Amino acid sequence: MKRRHSLAGIAAVAVLLAACGANDKPAGQDGGGTVKQGGTLYLLADSPTQQYDPARSSSLVVTGLQFVHRRLTSWKVAPGQDTTIVPDLATDTGKPSDGGKTWTFTLKDNLKYSDGTPIKSEDVKWGLERSFAPAFSGGLAYHKDLLSPGLTYKGPFEGGQELSSIETPDDKTIIFKLARPYGDWNWVASTPAFAPVPKGKGAEANYGEKPVASGPYQIETFERGKQAVLVRNTNFDPKSDETRPAYPDRVVWQFSQQTNVISKRLIDDSGDDKNAFGVSFASPAQLAQITGNASAKSRLVTSESGALAYLALNTQRGKLTDVNVRKAFQYAVNKSAFQVASAGNAQLAGDIATTLITPGLAGREQFDLYQTKPEGDPGKAKDMLAAAGLPNGLDGLVLATRAENDWPRKAESIQSGLAAAGIKVTIKPLDEETFTAEVQNKDNPDYDLVLTSWQPDIPSANANIQPLFQSTEIGGGGYNTARYNNPEVDRLITEAQATVDQAEAGKKWAELDRKILADSPVVPLIYTRNSYLHGTKVGNVKIGRFPAYADYRQFGIIQ
């Protein structure tokens, strides 16, 4: 499976809280007041666009795509509660058979697109077929190798071929014949590619600028680099949707906003900005302004600990091929310093991480194979390196990281901690495009270490483990940046994915968590916390236990 990282595809980039007394419970939720139908919601983003083509999108259920497109299944998200799967277009969350190789869904009655035409099962199939076309790549792809082993299918536009692994015996029934048993298929059915596209439509490259909507809103105008205006889809039936109350009459995305301008507008809280929500990153300097303003501080909403920040060790390069050398890094890294570098405050950055599976996911077990102090134990790390034949430590290592935002500063905290243990590294900051080309695509990349983070795309430990540690995810755009190749782990991943009983699957994923960490391909750092700033009239700003992002579906304007 090759696909974009969820964090890169989500417009809801975290505002890291510098000082507002947050703990590991969601803080400042709801926004106060009573939300009612009506009004205009403004979403302020530093990104140049929002992707509304479901084949190209990696948007989570709770973020931008959901305004315009529905999917077969969805998530019920609430503060302090585990996220559960619920039906969206389908009447239920899917019926598995044949040991999990076959999944059947039935569409609800009277579903319509924004143009008034009925939504049919063949449209869901067509939308999925579009996602295989090279011209429409880039979105989440958990479904692809299960529907087309070896990715031999190339979409419906060249030769008009159909994907035989999807059957639509009538307008309301869709049957998936998977290549192997897959217990999380109902979760996968909540990813963007499962949004319907009217059969025969969507061949144009700019389909995402004026798609046919199945959700509560349709795009009225779209100007890349400027804004997208969403208005109500009058053919949307709210009674058919339990997750989208669709409070605002209009949603306006304002693109290409400078982050300091976004912060100032939301702090000032005047005019239309009272109805605005900031979806873009703010610097520590801007956060100091926010937390120094009583009104703004009251409008910061904070998640529980969420995404995993980690240091990947290139297991195929130099001395890092030795597991005993890699284990020394578990003690050499100063996680406390990384916390401070991340948010200016250890408490507010997020909890120290010791596992690969992130909080809020079913089956997660808390453990620590490498018990040490938050600041690490450089002396023990030196002893371990000496025992591995490196009495003088390690020199000349390259640490790759992203160049934007605060990643270089966080990399410096890792560099300093490793130096205390006799490990000398040079930081290699890369812009997003170069990072992808160097770290994810090259066969023999020039790095020893990678500093990055990961937010699972679905509420399953599968999405923590498989993309980061299955050998098929090495290179070619994959996210196995540790270049970790363990045939036994590959086998166990496939076995866990095939387990339909979720309690049993959870046990298998927890065992894999321990087994992989015993090989030390990565050093877990922290489970990051996210915070957001909004205007005084934006209500129902909620963040569930998973994901650590605000649920756009619930937003409304306080009347």
The confidence score (pLDDT) of residue 442 equals: 86
The Cα 520–Cα 514 span in angstroms is: 10
Q: pLDDT-based confidence at 310, cuts 50/70/90?
A: very high
Contact, 135 vs 224, CB < 8 A?
no
Tens-digit pLDDT profile for residues 481-503: 999 999 999 999 999 999 999 89
pLDDT at residue 1 is higher than 60: no
Minimal CA–CA distance to 320: which of 408, 427, 473, 423? 423
Distance CA(158)–CA(230), nearest Å, equals 33
Contacts for 370 with CB less than 8 Å, ≥ 6 apart = 327, 330, 331, 354, 517
Q: Does pLDDT of 138 surpass 70? A: yes
Q: Which of 139-153, 321-335, 346-360, 427-441 has the highest mean pLDDT?
A: 321-335
51-66, pLDDT tens digit by residue? Answer: 999 999 999 999 999 9
Cite the DSSP H helix spans in 373-520: 378-387, 407-420, 432-435, 462-469, 487-497, 502-518
The interaxial angle of helices 502-518 and 462-469, nearest 10 deg, is 40
Domains of the chain and CATH, by start: 53-208 (3.40.190.10), 308-528 (3.10.105.10)
pLDDT at 114: 97
